[in-house]
Homo-oligomer: A and B are copies of this chain.
Amino acid sequence: MSRLDVTEKIIAAKVSKGLKWSDVADQVGLSKEWVTAACLGQMTLGAEQAAVVADLFGLTDEEKKWLMVVPYKGSLPTSVPADPLIYRFYELVSVYGTTFKELIHEEFGDGIMSAIDFRMDLQREPHPAGDRVSITMSGKFLQPAL
């Protein structure tokens, strides 16, 4: 058994039980973004969180233990993602990557936006010409050590 097996069981159980990520997040008591990522094998759950998730998805004790182990992260099967929804995010990096770089350096100097000390929030943004997806990201600025 591996974490991947547990992730696949969670995904299958979600389809079978008709669960929603936002409901799972409410039960766990953390943001839907963090909880979804964790269930998809990208975050590590604490003992209480793992108990809630195991209960909701019907995991065994063995499987629950895997939720508390740091997973090998990275969720894409290919380096350039084929799925159209995920590709659009890759395209943002491809098209706006140098823009992100220029503007962050202009504001902060040399360094990066952390992808670890990082939080995000995804919401529906109602709009008369068609609703929009709104995503807010916040990552700590990190400076190179001298």
CA distance A13 to B118 in the complex (A): 32
The answer on a CB contact under 8 Å between A96 and B112 is no
Number of A interface residues at 8 Å Cβ cutoff, please give it.
Answer: 98
Within 8 Å by CB of A74, from B33, B66, B83, B141, lies B83
CA distance A94 to B42 in the complex (A): 10
The answer on a CB contact under 8 Å between B137 and A119 is no
A72-85 vs B, Cβ < 8 Å mask (1 yes, 0 no):
11111111111111
Shortest CB distance A94–B (Å): 5
Interface residues of A in 104-146 (CB under 8 A from B): 104-120, 122, 124-125, 127, 129-146
Within 8 Å by CB of A102, from B36, B96, B97, B101, lies B36
The verdict on A30 contacting chain B, using a C-beta distance below 8 Å, is yes
Interface core residue of A18, A104, A113, A144 (most chain B CB under 10 Å) = A144
The answer on a CB contact under 8 Å between A135 and B136 is yes
